[in-house]
Structure formats: structure tokens, C-alpha cells
Amino acid sequence: MNKYTPEERAEIVTIFIKNNRSIIATQWKLSQTYSNLPMHHKTTIFESALYVSARSLRRILKTDLNIFPYKIQLLQTLLPKDPDQRIECSNAILRLSGEIENFSYKLIMSDETHFLLSDHASKHNSWFWGTQNPQLIHETSLHPLKTSLWCGIHAKNIFGPYFFENDHAVVITDTAERYQDMIRNFLVPEMEVQG
């Protein structure tokens, strides 16, 4: 473990705070500032700066200072009509399963994942260290700028992947209209090809 001077240790902590507590940004800045020192793995930056292991640092924070990591909850903002729409959809599926023979074999289950194109918080990296749980909730917009990847699964086939993009292969955010276009222009022809 490299030993830093007290001034270098203080600067590492300052750089970390100034870079929104980003270890990656801190490493990059340190590589520019101290090009003569080898870069450490992210878990050892503070070990080197503070002369303590990551395990000891965590023990000190939890046992001695009563500071714990709390994950910030990211919740999708629900609209007043959402609960009623969920119940309506569930009832429709129950009704159709009783009316249509082999309904489950005619069903396509689909999912999509979103690649965010804006400065949107990632819940995997949102931790808060404190002496008590702050009960932080970060409400996000239901429709941040993103591109989506869609895939569907049927009893016999897999459909997709399908990326939402325009005629020039530029990624676009999906909307209800684009989703309907995907069903008409991609899913229906794909179902006809696969049988």
C-alpha cells in the first residue's frame, strides 16, 4: 500500500467530495495530478489515503460512528388513474382466460429495458451514509429520455430483440404511437414468419 503525505491524503478526500463522491472521477483526477503514483483499485484509494483497510473503515463507520449505508428508493410516480387501470387489466385477463380456449398459448408476454440517455439517477449507485435512515425517496419522471429494447415470449417462439429507432437508425424514445407501429410493422410480420 503506497503511503501518501498528509497533504496528498487531504487532497484525495477533497477531490472525492468535489467530484460528487465518484470514485471513478477521483481516480481520473488523481492520475492527472499524481502521474508518478500507480493507480489503485477503487476500494484501495481510501485505504491508501487514510492508512486503513476497507474492512476497518467500514467497521469504524458502523461500530464507532454508528453510520450505516442506506439505499435511496427510486419510485415511479403513479398517476391517480393507475390503480384502476391495473385492476381493469387483471379483470380482462381473467375474463379472457375463461372465454378463449388455450388462452395462455395465445398470449405474448413481453418486456423491455430502457437505456437512459439523460442524467438520471441509477438506484444501484445511490447510497447515503448516515447515523439514521433518512427515508429518502427520489421520485422520477415516468418518461425520462431513453431508448428501449423490446423482446416478446410466446408459448412456441421468441420475438425480438427490437430497438426503437427512426428510419436513419438513430435511437429514439418510445411512445405509445411508436409502440403501436412496432406491433404492426415488426411483431405481426414476425409472427407470420414464425407461424
What value does the mean pLDDT of the chain take?
76
Q: Where are the beta strands (DSSP E) in 77-131?
A: 109-116, 127-130
User: Confidence band (pLDDT; 50, 70, 90) for 77?
Assistant: confident
- pTM, 2 dp: 0.42
- Read off the pLDDT of each residue in 140-156 and give the average, rounded to a whole number: 78
Q: Of 82-96, 97-111, 130-144, which has the strongest mean pLDDT?
A: 82-96
Phi/psi at 138 (nearest 5 deg)?
Answer: -110, 105
Angle between helices 6-18 and 23-33 (to 10 degrees): 130
Q: Where are the domains of the chain?
A: 6-65, 73-194
Closest residue by Cα to residue 117 from 172, 179, 182: 172
How many of the other CB atoms lie within 10 Å of CB of 1? 10
Most confident of 18-32, 73-87, 166-180: 73-87
- Contacts (Cβ under 8 Å, ≥6 apart) of 162: 149, 150, 151, 182, 186, 187
Digit-coded pLDDT (tens) for 174-184? 788 988 999 99
Strand ranges, E, within 32-141: 68-71, 73-76, 109-116, 127-130, 137-140
